[in-house]
Amino acid sequence: MTTAPVAEAPAVPMTAKRRGAQLVMLAFAIVVVMGAYASVGLGINGQIPSGTFTYGLGLAALMFAAYGVLAKWAPWADPLLLPLVTLVNGLGLVIIYRIEQTGQGGASATNQLMWTALGVVMFSATLIVLKDHRALQRLTYTMGFIGLGLLIMPLLPLVGREINGARIWIGVGPFTIQPAEFSKLALVIFFAGYLVAKRDVLALAGRRLLFIDLPRARDLGPVLVTWGLSLGVLILQKDLGSSLLVFGTFIVMLYVATQRTSWVLIGILLFIGGAVLAGQLFDHVQARFEVWLHPEDPEFYERELGGSFQLLQGLFAFGSGGILGTGLGEGFPNLIPLSFSDFIMAVVGEELGLTGLMALLMVYALIVQRGLRTALAARDPFSKLLAGGLSFILAWQVFIIVGGVTRLIPLTGLVTPFMSAGGSALLANWILIALLVRMSDAARRPPPQAIQNEGLTQVFTR
């Protein structure tokens, strides 16, 4: 086809690398974070914390190192992803530092900074090692097993740990790891590879019901397996959040791959069925619903287990924050149990107010949007599905936890990506971003130029 005068038009207009813009935005994100850090100190005792400069420089050094890796190994990558993630991760650090100042156990900004550094290492390693993400397609089933294994691990004796009523942890020496966070990555890779291979079959229409083409009964297998898996997580680990996260992501990826709306409807029906079933069988699921409907009811508020105390204290924080917030360092995050983890958004709501929440949600939305853009621009189905799946799982996780904390939906525990204290989630999410960066690099890299003037073709001979 070398005779074609013009190469096929690329799906997305040619893009510049925009490295300079990325650097400026990265610096801006770090300045915002340093300002927030200083503001916490001013709010607490009227002094700028002594660590502002060194801390800021430390974060800047980390992020510029990440930038360096990105510029060398993924030069065409999306320029917005790294600055946006830096901003959210940095603000998360600041909020955890702020909560640590109140003496709430479990909040440690130093640990979180260490995990951030490790996260950046994982980010860099992923970019350096994984030169072409399509290599992952060959690991589809391996990833499936790894994902499943990680999900099951907390249930194993010896390594499994139960903390706060959920058996989702494993102990490794002094550390506890939440393997579900890594599992979700492996599962999305598996789903993408599997669905690309099977999508033609799964898209085959079976019977027609009303105006919807139902899939063939025998193709229901994968959906039912995933559904069963999610229910298993829910029942055995009491982890409502991860269960919903994995199932929802699978359904959306199935829809994207097969273009069949019927899968979404089947998924919703299965979800409702599962939820009703779980609600009937398990008190803790039912308790979540009651609390969601009537958080202000004194009966639920005072209930020791599965009561609304935490949710309502979180809502009080949002209420007290109002539109502008109390200002960093001037709220009372210690009133909310686990404010450094699941309820970190309530602290943001109190101290930065509606304004801060809107800005932060916008940053998350932008990260997701950059990921989905990568999916649209990607050139092969596996990349499209993987980028789409990873972006969606990020959005879905933000929706589940922030929606839960703000009482939009019943509360199911999940970490807030890049903000909540916790190493596993940070590492996993930095890898997720690395994968998106890798794919955006591939998608935005100009395709090899067709040689236009054959007269200039030179043939080397030895």
Piece of 51-59, 147-155, 185-193, 317-325 that binds another protein (CB under 8 A): 317-325
Residue 255 binding another protein, by CB under 8 A: yes
Round to whole Å and give the CA distance between 285 and 388: 30
Residue 330 binding another protein, by CB under 8 A: yes
Position among 25, 33, 39, 370 found at the interface with another protein (CB under 8 A): 39
Residues 105-144 vs another protein: string with x where CB under 8 A?
----------------------------------------
Residue 213 binding another protein, by CB under 8 A: no
Position among 154, 193, 331, 422 found at the interface with another protein (CB under 8 A): 331
Query: How many residues lie near another protein (CB under 8 A)?
Result: 59
* Smallest gap from residue 103 Cβ to another protein (A): 8
CB-nearer residue toward another protein: 64 or 332? 332
Dihedral of the alpha carbons of 417, 419, 424, 430, in degrees to the nearest 10: 60
CB-nearer residue toward another protein: 60 or 81? 81
Residue 102 binding another protein, by CB under 8 A: yes
Contact partners, residue 258, CB within 8 Å, separation at least 6? 195, 199, 202, 203, 215
- Which of 427, 424, 415, 430 has the alpha carbon at shortest distance from 178? 424
* Smallest gap from residue 361 Cβ to another protein (A): 6
Piece of 41-49, 65-73, 212-220, 282-290 that binds another protein (CB under 8 A): 41-49
Contact by Cβ (8 Å): 418, 426: yes
Q: Where are the alpha helices (DSSP H) in 74-139?
A: 81-101, 109-129
Piece of 1-9, 176-184, 318-326, 437-445 that binds another protein (CB under 8 A): 318-326
Contact by Cβ (8 Å): 321, 350: yes
Residues 418-447 vs another protein: string with x where CB under 8 A?
------------------------------
Dihedral of the alpha carbons of 202, 371, 135, 448, in degrees to the nearest 10: 110
Residue 300 binding another protein, by CB under 8 A: no
In this structure, the number of other CB atoms found within 10 A of the CB of residue 457 comes to 8
Sign, CA torsion 434/439/443/445: positive
Please tell me what DSSP assigns to residue 159.
T
- Which of 295, 357, 292, 291 has the alpha carbon at shortest distance from 321? 357
Round to whole Å and give the CA distance between 243 and 234: 6
Residues 367-406 vs another protein: string with x where CB under 8 A?
-xx--x--xx----x--xx--x--xx--xx-xx--xx--x
CA angle 347, 350, 354 (to 5 degrees): 115
Using CB under 8 A, list all residues that contact another protein.
Answer: 39, 42-46, 101-102, 252, 255-257, 259, 296, 301, 312-313, 315-323, 327, 330-332, 335, 349, 353-354, 357-358, 361, 364-365, 368-369, 372, 375-376, 381, 384-385, 388, 391-392, 395-396, 398-399, 402-403, 406-408
